[in-house]
Amino acid sequence: MAAFHPLVASRVHLSPLLPAAAGPAAAVAAGLSFHRRRFSAIVAAATAPTATEFDFKAYMGERAVAVNQALDAAIPAGEPPAALHDAMRYALLAGGKRVRPALCLASCVVVGGREAWAMAPAAAVEMVHTMSLVHDDLPCMDDDDLRRGKPTCHVVYGEPIAVLAGDALLSLSFGHMASMDSYPPDVDPEKHPARVVRGIGELARCIGSEGLVAGQVVDLEMTGSTETVPLDRLEYIHLHKTAALLEASVVIGAIIGGGSDEQIERLRKYARSIGLLFQVVDDILDVTKSSEELGKTAGKDLASDKTTYPKLLGLEKSREFAEKLLCDAKEQLADFDKEKAAPLLYLANYIAYRQN
């Protein structure tokens, strides 16, 4: 297992987020003493102009309503084949915090685009997210019965329909992004198609053997193994299984919004940090919260002896690592317009400090 190098193995160039030279815990501690000092200053600088004006809860609530409307309109209720459409709608409209769509919309705005341009990609990334949950929950995979506080798709509709609903959601995500009907009439007719093509390339890349699926494959391999997962491999899993789609959500928003290559790459770095942050926090929550609070089976990772950040680093060091990632993410926002960057800043905070 020593020959496994996730960042060599990956065909995406994901730069390492965790300094690995002196062993994980030491590296985190070393990185943190510096990052700690910058932490307050960065947060203060980025939030100061809008701290009292920006209502994050209202922002997220309004986006969730709009995204849910787009998702609802994208899949006809009751039309045949009814079982398929019902299963797709069941999985897709089960609530959820719509973090990925919000990232996509906020990223479009921060580079100067209109939020409405990114509504179709925002819906698309949520379809992809849902599809990955439906397939990962299958009996032959993670065999999960509970998701977002409800029975999983295959429990309600059976395994064949769950597989097919996932496939249909995946193809719909691309179809939705490609359809001109999904966009408002004021998109630039000259530049829009090339932006959509580039965005679809990002979406495709974050799903397959360089993204979600790769992460799930290595995750499954680790689950069946008795050896302890080394930190670099845990990071590989999370960068692919979680961070890749968060990265695509942000990057696609920036592309559709007409961002420059330099802006897009800065936002990509932001997204990678919050992507790994998301998973570190998820691991922490799994150890510290009940199923009821989480809306899914808690303690599952420990019960199945799954390697997590708390297991490898301990709870305290995991929290410190999360803080470092939050700092890194916020640094990338420093050169954007403060007001327009507020949602991305608050989204990073939310991902770091959420309770479920």
Q: Tell which one of 67, 110, 172, 326 touches a second copy (CB under 8 A).
A: 172
Q: Which positions from 31 through 90 interact with a second copy, judged by CB under 8 A? A: 75-76, 79-81, 83-85, 88
Binding range to a second copy, per CB under 8 A, among 32-40, 65-73, 188-196, 257-265:
188-196
Q: How far apart are CA 307 and CA 227, in angstroms?
A: 10
Total interface residues for a second copy by CB under 8 A = 58
Beta-strand (E) ranges in the chain?
146-147, 150-151
Structure tokens at 286: 């799994």
Q: How far apart are CA 133 and CA 148, in angstroms?
A: 10
Residue 170: enclosing H or E segment and its boundaries?
helix 159-178
Binding range to a second copy, per CB under 8 A, among 3-11, 23-31, 35-43, 90-98:
3-11
Rank residues 42 and 91 by Cβ distance to a second copy and give the closer one.
Answer: 91
In the complex, minimum distance from the CB of residue 93 to a second copy, in angstroms, rounded to a whole number? 15
Rank residues 60 and 172 by Cβ distance to a second copy and give the closer one.
Answer: 172
In the complex, minimum distance from the CB of residue 88 to a second copy, in angstroms, rounded to a whole number? 7
In the complex, minimum distance from the CB of residue 69 to a second copy, in angstroms, rounded to a whole number? 19
CB count in 10 Å sphere of residue 40? 10
Residue 264 makes contact with a second copy by CB under 8 A: no
Rank residues 182 and 349 by Cβ distance to a second copy and give the closer one.
Answer: 182
In the complex, minimum distance from the CB of residue 331 to a second copy, in angstroms, rounded to a whole number? 30
Q: Are 251 and 106 in contact (CB under 8 A)?
A: no
Q: Tell which one of 41, 77, 140, 302 touches a second copy (CB under 8 A).
A: 140
3-35 CB burial, b ≥16 within 10 A, e <16: eeebbeebeeebeebbeeeeebeebbeebbeeb
Structure tokens at 298: 């808690």
Q: DSSP H helical segments within 228-337, as ranges?
A: 231-238, 244-256, 261-288, 291-294, 300-303, 309-313, 315-331
Q: How far apart are CA 306 and CA 147, in angstroms?
A: 19
Residue 209 makes contact with a second copy by CB under 8 A: yes
Residue 98 makes contact with a second copy by CB under 8 A: no
Binding site for a second copy (CB under 8 A): 4, 9, 11, 75-76, 79-81, 83-85, 88, 131, 135, 138, 140-141, 158-161, 163-164, 166-172, 174-176, 178-180, 193-194, 196-198, 200-201, 203-205, 207-209, 211-214, 216-218, 220-221
